[in-house]
Structure 1
């Protein structure tokens, strides 16, 4: 009886927990607090944080690998084997639930599906109405290539550096997609860093935006954008898919799914499909991707110098991308007649619509009657395209 009790105690998580797991559990609880109490993108942060919590509870097994074993099924197995008859069977122990869900990340399935949903939810009219917005979206991708160079300097290989740099696009699906192709061994820290920083955009961006602009610039009132025809909205996703795919075939999957989702929305002939892509499918994939990404942050993998370097470079990528967008908008004001509010430049990172909402919030804090949200959506959706194009360039160069 005593042995049974001892065996039972030894199977309890509390006697097997390590200090690393305790640290990760605390981190996951902090992220849950930020998501629930402070409202920092709960749709992203809650699944990620809870997945992180589950995978770091000792002996939970949610991220266990399926293990294959070769078993001898009879004492005469050797003799049978000599005679050409197999006396062995291949058995497999079941892996953890979240390990199987994580295959959707590793195999590059979830990211394109997220892009499908984003396309079905996104209105490209602000970008079509003001094509100059694409320059702001392109400028914000500067953080990707700056961080790529920084990662090379720190000793990462070209493929790993490219995967780390894409964090600066503020686009979790793109970061996951590129990393699975170039540096799958870094998928866990890069995915968690990308999604965590996406959720923390309202904290990261405003100080940079205020530091680089004057009150007068933050109060610039922009003129109303022109109306965009239905025909233009339909032609746009088709044209972008063709042009980008011909120039960068490696970006065809992400751009194609993004534009396919948008075409479902704008065509007017596929309302049911558009509704499914933007609601039910998007919600399901977000849950699966979020919780599996969070579960990949196991203490044994996550608490390392390399991971800390990746998180540091991720902050750099976000900061440089935000700054580049704002500074390019200021440059446009020196060249163009029609002034733009530099705050919309920060929306050039790909976090849709978070970055655009942050631009609007900072503008209204200075001038309560100033509405720049729709103007910020132009560079914001341009940033989605820009990050996918940047991923295509990196994949073409180092894939």
Structure 2
């Protein structure tokens, strides 16, 4: 008599449940890209460039302000419920806006509330969607899933502007906002995703939002791995969530490489980051994730500092590919470790904190980039970015739990 057969877990790229989540995420991110393009285009045409900047800023502010609260909401109500509600809200709001635009000219009366709603919903959606991976796949597949997610982002950022441009040219602003059908597709796919339920608490506590947020922050602060990891994520992403893109423009202008030089370097960065995402997608297993983060940050530091001294455009392009490859590796491994090490009950709050570290510190460097390039040259700015990456690597080395972290086997 034979015992019951054991079924090995499927690799993430062959798991239909994971692929449904990935398709939903891709549709939602692409919809976000098209929405942002349509909002900027409509605001510029109807209220002028100066007020268009105000509309975009109004949309960005609630995302930063409510991000941590969004993590509390995701943990309290569950990631799928929150993500589904977010997609439903965005779909409804954008389709109603499209209907209004058919019969009325857009103005601040429409664009400002629309931007505000999307900013708040994004602040809730991002922690919720980030809490899915540990509950739809196994620990050893999280790096692969992060690689797949990276490819999804690259696809969305490439496909979204192209689709948005075509829709804008063909149907005007109303047709562009009708791209909310992508949020509807994401909604349908998310409803079909199965997630592992959490065990019911033995004695459920009734906590306020502020108390739950405080509990999440204390959880990170006291965690031997997550505390230094949050610092590493904040430092490593500080230069690469926008400021380096501005730095590439400043470097090309300083060296006389023109707009085409900026385009070559920006494309090279995307190619490198995409290659890193693809590599982790097909890699069977990741050994020594902590050491991989340290090496990736060191390579990023050296290549970034060298970019500011690149003698030719093609040497700069080669260095930018390397920066994208190393930076993409660090992003994938840090993201996978966050998901692997966090107690699922806190995952929404931890995801919101790391997302805020990623997006919240970068804007401070935009004016610094311009002032530094004007006073001392773009090379000094890139040297400073390299020093920040080096500091992130030093922090990772100084934390034994992070330096020795693994993605294989049971969680800590």
Higher helix share: 2
Larger Rg belongs to: 1
